[in-house]
Homo-oligomer: A and B are copies of this chain.
Amino acid sequence: MEKVGILGPRGTHSEEAALRLNEILASNRELVICAEIFEVLAAVEAGELDAGFVPVENSLEGSINITLDTLARSDSLVIAREFIWTVHNQLAVKAGIKLGDVKKIFSHSQPLSQCRKFLLKNFPHAELVSTTSTSRAAEIVAESKISDGYAAICTKRAGQLNNLETLANEIQDNSANRTRFFEVRRRPNEKFPTIKGDKILIICQIDGSRAGSLCEVLKEFAFRHVNMTRIESRPARTELGEYIFFFDLENNVDRRTLNDAIGGVKKKSIWLKDLGTFPVINA
């Protein structure tokens, strides 16, 4: 059975998304909880895990920098799959607590701010408390007395793990809260045949980030009609003002044209890494 590393603790959005991907793939891969994203990726590089399942971008919060920085610095990792997950938040309580009983609401600061309208409308007088994770919030509620009137904003999974009941579902203000995950593996990436419609991630350092040189690089994609769905920059960590660029490309042209485009970019870069071609799964 394959071992897939994920960011812990149990019951967070990472575990919920990884379980859903297992369902979609009809696979019972074992999920191994790690304390840090960096640990997940290091264990894959070291061969201790078959794959790592790590967040790379959220539609509200932006890039997960540690994932990008680690991918840029590794020579042995490729992306096997992208999984796009819609984040669902619920309000969970101990059995017997009703809406009117809630006095104190626990969650990570991000869900607390992302559910602000729901909280203001339904719990204008409740105290809001930040926790280190949504799973921790669910644990605190599980350990409380009914008379405390505690509730947690957490995943369905964290509610189940802590024997909590759902008071309200889908309580986030904005339905656009989606997180992209990468399933990362060691090279080679032979298990996953390239098909049209897949995506490609290219990482490179361009000499100077001037409009001229970046435009020259983008032209390699543009005049061959390669769609770029995202550009991101991260510090090169050498000098202020020097950057590494991440280009997400669609595999919407034939492979030879794509290879020509990547070859053209490589000529204009100090270095370039091709993180592989991978399918995208939405859920």
Q: Which residues of A does B touch, CB under 8 Å?
A: 57-62, 65, 84, 174, 176, 178, 180, 209-212, 214-215, 218-219, 221-222, 225-235, 237-241, 243, 247
Contacts and interface: CB of A to CB of B under 8 A. Distances in A.
Nearest to A219: B215
Given A61-B65, A214-B231, 12 more contacts: A59-B237, A59-B239, A60-B237, A178-B239, A209-B230, A211-B222, A211-B228, A211-B247, A215-B215, A229-B241, A230-B241, A232-B233
A89 to B, nearest CB: 17
- In this complex, the member of A58, A62, A225 whose beta carbon has the largest number of chain B beta carbons within 10 angstroms is A62
Contacts of A58: 235
A134 B77 CA distance: 35
A227 B215 contact: no
A8 B174 CA distance: 32
A214 B218 contact: yes
Contacts of A84: 240
Q: Interface residues of A: mostly helix, strand, loop or mixed?
A: mixed
A210 B229 contact: yes
B240 A227 contact: no
Contacts of A60: 235, 237
List of 3 A-B pairs having minimum Cβ-Cβ separation, nearest first? A211-B228, A211-B221, A59-B240
A238 to B, nearest CB: 6
A176 B239 CA distance: 5
Nearest to A236: B59
23 contacts: A59-B235, A59-B237, A59-B240, A59-B241, A61-B235, A174-B237, A176-B237, A178-B239, A178-B240, A209-B229, A210-B228, A210-B229, A211-B221, A211-B227, A212-B222, A214-B218, A214-B228, A215-B218, A215-B221, A229-B241, A231-B231, A231-B233, A232-B233
Contacts of A231: 209, 214, 231, 233
Nearest to A58: B235
A261 B222 CA distance: 21
Nearest to A174: B237
A158 B136 CA distance: 34
Contacts of A210: 227-229
A60 B235 CA distance: 6
A234 B238 CA distance: 23
A222 B61 CA distance: 31
